[in-house]
Amino acid sequence: MVINKPYLLFLGDASDQLAAKTAEGVAYWRRSDCVGQMRLPGCNANLHLPDLTIAEASKQGALTLLIGVANRGGRLSELWLPYLREALETGMDIANGLHNRLADVHELAELAANNGRNLFDLRHTSVTFDVANGKKRTGKRLLTVGTDCSVGKMYVSLAIEQEMKRRGIRTSFCATGQTGILIAGGGISVDAVTADFISGAVEALSPDQEPDHWDVIEGQGSLFHPSFAGVSLGLLHGAQPDVLVMCHEPTRKHMRGLPEYPVPSIENCITANEAAARLTNPNATCIGISLNTAALDEADARDLLAETEARIGLPCVDAIRTGVSRLVDCIPI
Amino acid sequence: MVINKPYLLFLGDASDQLAAKTAEGVAYWRRSDCVGQMRLPGCNANLHLPDLTIAEASKQGALTLLIGVANRGGRLSELWLPYLREALETGMDIANGLHNRLADVHELAELAANNGRNLFDLRHTSVTFDVANGKKRTGKRLLTVGTDCSVGKMYVSLAIEQEMKRRGIRTSFCATGQTGILIAGGGISVDAVTADFISGAVEALSPDQEPDHWDVIEGQGSLFHPSFAGVSLGLLHGAQPDVLVMCHEPTRKHMRGLPEYPVPSIENCITANEAAARLTNPNATCIGISLNTAALDEADARDLLAETEARIGLPCVDAIRTGVSRLVDCIPI
């Protein structure tokens, strides 16, 4: 699967910035691959890229329209169809991170076929997986885990990969969600896998490697999220991580999408993840924490990082604000 | 979906009795719906039903051939194809509990269409589910959980349903696997659901009910099985159980299919299940244990039940050997 660049990032009518996190991730980690963004009325997200129409983006060389919006439940909006049609008619492919398949929308499938364009439904795969066998694999693995969904696990993973590579450590980023797949150019959307094969898919994603090679595996969800914890546990078991990094958003008032559910403490979340991880890797250890302090000012963020580090007794960074160097120092290379 | 009875139970070349647990369950709970069994060379399972050819079964009125074999990974064997063709040609439907779709096997799909027969791929569903919302539902729920796969969760669930109904309690059995679906005539194979929707599917399977109504939900897998724990956790969260019943097979030497993995203690498994269940139902409590003592003689079984009950401090039964009356006594009706 080769997705042609550069991209036009389609934000639709994203209700807030978090809803556009797919597009935001691609823009942050691969900005030079993005000609601009397209926003519809009611869109409350902004990536500070040029606002372009389909025609303008096409003129500037965009080869693929990325549906960069992650609505709850991952559904395709009827509102977007005219724009998707226009993109196909002007010669772009479409890459789609939603659960709905573009290929199942008859008029889009037909239009793509007639125009010789491709529809990439990133959450779907025709690949089948084996059931996980739980056998110890060669090489080393780091997995990011979190107190909630959308707390920065992919960013932290990519920052760690970047820093490990900078130090000359053999490292691969293993993408488990649609944004990561767009950034990495490959991977498996584990939440789209048939439930029986979650752990098996992760075993396939991160196979045997050289003894000194590190796979940095992108985590998903949270063991404490009532909607998605099954995915998180299957991913944790399949990853067999040597090292865990806990990710947390300190201003989150409740679990994403579920006002009745409080966010667990970092401490409880570390304990639960280490206990569950040790089923398939008895040495699994959380070596540090990354807080997403984007909502705090510099002084408050520094105070919170220091306070959290002192309280829990593990290095505590913000992958964006401070970098992850102090976490990478703790990885037993 | 209406699956026509009576059934011919197809055991294929099942390597052992456990591999035929789908057929065994149907024969045990709905014996009068089964005209006989069909076994191929190498089959080590036996349901002590008449051994019939397809022609004999058809003559005795069989309307559906049930593929009652649950191989590891749930794959369709090439060896079985001639028999499946013969069944369709003699006028039977086929019901299939494997992961592979019969509908994807071109010659079977064509043969079924040409003969006006139905292929029921029980592990697949065209129904889509919402993401779980974790909201408290009305009515009461009991979920069977286990130390491992294939330890008797469905049998215990059906025995509890039967005993509760005998006492006049409004009760429904909620099937989550292919055998349960064949017995109940409906349900959702949760291990076949897309990973993101495991908990949401269970919320749909067991919706709001009258306050005095009990759903008895069939558990799947184990939180301690490295291949399937994600399914078990998603099912546990979606079920929001008021009551848990722990199921265990005391002679199991290791987790099913994984010689490297020991079976967890009943105590640890109760603790882990209660802790995880309390995310979505803070009152979730394990009220008792059912041991599958089929491999023990009567005296050893009675000793083990008494010893386990004394050690753990919860009623301990064997759903088949002793019945579940003492468990049902402990359900807070």
Same domain for B117 and B239, yes or no, is no
Asked if residue A253 belongs to a domain, the reply is yes
From the CA atom positions of chain A, what is the Rg in Å?
20
Q: How many CB atoms lie within 10 A of CB B186?
A: 15
Q: B234 — contact with chain A (CB < 8 Å)?
A: yes
pTM score: 0.87
Asked if residue B130 belongs to a domain, the reply is no
Same domain for A64 and A18, yes or no, is yes
CATH number, domain with residue B31:
3.40.50.720
Same domain for A183 and A298, yes or no, is yes
How does DSSP classify residue B324?
A: S
Picking from B61, B88, B121, the residue at the C-terminal end of a domain is B121
Query: A118-122, A154-158, B144-148: which has the minimum mean pLDDT?
Result: A118-122
- Written as one string, the DSSP assignment of A55-76 is HHHHHTT--EEEE----TT-PP
Same domain for B180 and B305, yes or no, is yes
| Contact at CB, B133 and A193, closer than 8 angstroms | no
From the list B132, B283, B138, the residue with the least C-alpha distance to B207 is: B138
B280 vs A contacts (CB less than 8 Å): 226
| Contact at CB, A191 and B195, closer than 8 angstroms | yes
Query: A155-164, A282-291, B171-180, B233-242: which has the minimum mean pLDDT?
Result: B171-180
From the list B145, B82, B175, the residue with the least C-alpha distance to B274 is: B145
Same domain for B180 and B306, yes or no, is yes
- Strands A316-317, A285-291: pairing kind: parallel
Same domain for B200 and B247, yes or no, is yes
* Chain centroid, CA A47 distance in Å: 17
Query: A31-35, A301-305, B260-264, B282-286: which has the minimum mean pLDDT?
Result: A31-35
SS3 B293: coil
Q: B193 — contact with chain A (CB < 8 Å)?
A: yes
Asked if residue A131 belongs to a domain, the reply is no
Interface test with B, best of A122, A194, A202 (most B CBs within 10 A): A194
Same domain for B83 and B181, yes or no, is no
SS3 A79: helix
Same domain for A147 and A116, yes or no, is no
Picking from B91, B121, B151, the residue at the C-terminal end of a domain is B121
Q: How many domains does chain A have?
A: 2
Asked if residue A96 belongs to a domain, the reply is yes
CATH number, domain with residue B158:
3.40.50.300
Mean pLDDT of B68-82: 81
What the block records as the tokens of A162 is 């970047």
Prior bond of A226 cis (ω within 30°)? no
> pLDDT band at B97, cuts 50/70/90?
confident
Picking from A93, A121, A149, the residue at the C-terminal end of a domain is A121
**Residues paired with residue A246 on neighbouring β-strands, in sequence order:** A145, A289
Q: B190 — contact with chain A (CB < 8 Å)?
A: yes
Q: A228 — contact with chain B (CB < 8 Å)?
A: yes
Asked if residue A1 belongs to a domain, the reply is no
- Written as one string, the DSSP assignment of B138-195 is SSEEEEEEESSSSSSHHHHHHHHHHHHHHTT--EEEE--SHHHHHHHT----GGGSBG
Q: Chain B closest CA to A53's CA: distance in Å?
A: 33
Same domain for B73 and B208, yes or no, is no
**Length reported for chain A:** 333
Question: Containing H/E element for A145?
Answer: strand A140-146
What the block records as the tokens of B180 is 């349960």
Q: Which segments of A205-328 are extended strands (E)?
A: 214-217, 243-248, 285-291, 316-317
Asked if residue B266 belongs to a domain, the reply is yes
Contact B273, B236 (CB under 8 A): yes
SS3 B231: helix
Asked if residue A22 belongs to a domain, the reply is yes
What the block records as the tokens of A24 is 């935001």
Q: How many CB atoms lie within 10 A of CB B230?
A: 34
Asked if residue B134 belongs to a domain, the reply is no
Mean pLDDT of A50-77: 89
Same domain for B94 and B214, yes or no, is no
From the list B162, B228, B145, the residue with the least C-alpha distance to B193 is: B228
How does DSSP classify residue B32?
A: G
Q: How many CB atoms lie within 10 A of CB A46?
A: 14
Name the closest residue on chain B to residue A73, using Cα atoms: B131
Same domain for B70 and B181, yes or no, is no
The string of pLDDT tens digits covering residues A121-179 is: 987 876 789 999 999 999 999 999 999 999 999 999 999 999 999 999 999 999 998 88
Mean pLDDT of A269-287: 98
> In terms of residue numbers, what domain contains A102?
7-121
Same domain for B147 and B249, yes or no, is yes
User: What pLDDT was estimated at residue A72?
Assistant: 64
| Contact at CB, A260 and B135, closer than 8 angstroms | yes
